[in-house]
Amino acid sequence: MRQGNRSIRAVDLKPFEEWYQHFPEVENLQLDLQGREACEKALRDAQIVYDLAADMGGMGFIENNRALCMLSVLINTHLLMAARKFGVQRYFYASSACVYAADKQTSPDVIALKEADAYPAMPEDGYGWEKLFSERMCRHFREDFGITTRMARFHNVYGPHGTWTGGREKAPAAICRKVIEAKLSGHHHIEIWGDGKQTRSFMYIDDCLKGTQAILKSEILEPINLGSNELITINGLVDMVEEIAGIKLKRAYNLKAPKGVNGRNSDNTLIKEYLGWEPGIRLRDGMEKTYRWIHDQIVSGSKKV
């Protein structure tokens, strides 16, 4: 809308009252995109499609709901079929760093993942397999049917207007929520999943949006990393949020909780070659904005998840 576009259609499974952003100026549809008819309703007369839809969440969700994550293949299959039917001009597919082979992510001192590291395939069980398969579908719909498909492998997107409670939240939002709740309650304790030594990179939503639009408009045919390469441990992320909150908490480590791979980072060589750009918003800056927003949600009593 800010870029001057007015013919916009937004689609989500959630009821409208649960949308964080709901603009009456655009067409808003509540649809279950696992169904073929719903996908056709969503894409009729569309020229540009951003396929961001998936049944997913943080590690706690995807490790315990592998079948549900796999069923997202229905969304992507039916959307691609509808895109072919209605002659969509450009189709963006949001893939994930979870497609990368597990044996490349066994150490916290991880070597940043190159796009070629997705094969030989050994992705995150359930969610990662579905994403990898849907990447191949996008490729073959382009090769066989001429749909201009573009794909990006998102690395841990975070920021305001994201899920922060309810079981689907990812580490940045979960840690912000736990620190805020500890501070407000006076119980200065925090539970950390795993030993806290696992490493990740986290991409702020503004970088994600900029990269997504640039990749869609580009001539990049293969799936490409879209992520920050600023590596941090989970313990380091807790340190950062504590500093933002002005508090120190006693830590308890839940070694039985889902924690994902030991290390994951984004190799940005290709995106810099193609676009002359890479995600660059500092984690500290993005986490402060995220913390403030979640704090406001908690204090206001928001029930949105």
Q: What is the mean pLDDT of each run of 10 residues along the chain (305 residues)?
A: 93 92 94 98 98 91 93 97 98 97 87 93 94 98 98 97 92 97 96 94 98 98 98 97 97 91 94 98 98 96 65
Over the Cα atoms of the chain, what is R_g? 19
Q: What is the pLDDT of residue 303?
A: 58
What distance in Å separates the CA atoms of residue 66 and residue 72, rounded to the nearest whole number?
10
What distance in Å separates the CA atoms of residue 17 and residue 119, rounded to the nearest whole number?
42
How many helical (H) and strand (E) elements, i.e. helices and strands, does the chain have?
Answer: 10, 12
Q: Would you give the end-to-end CA distance of the chain in angstroms?
A: 24
Across 44-198, where does the E strand assignment appear?
A: 48-51, 90-96, 148-154, 157-158, 189-193
Q: What is the pLDDT of residue 84?
A: 98
pTM, 2 dp = 0.94
Annotated catalytic residue 93 = no
Q: What is the pLDDT of residue 234?
A: 96
- Considering the candidates 91, 93, 100, 127, report the single residue annotated as catalytic: 127
Q: What is the pLDDT of residue 20?
A: 82
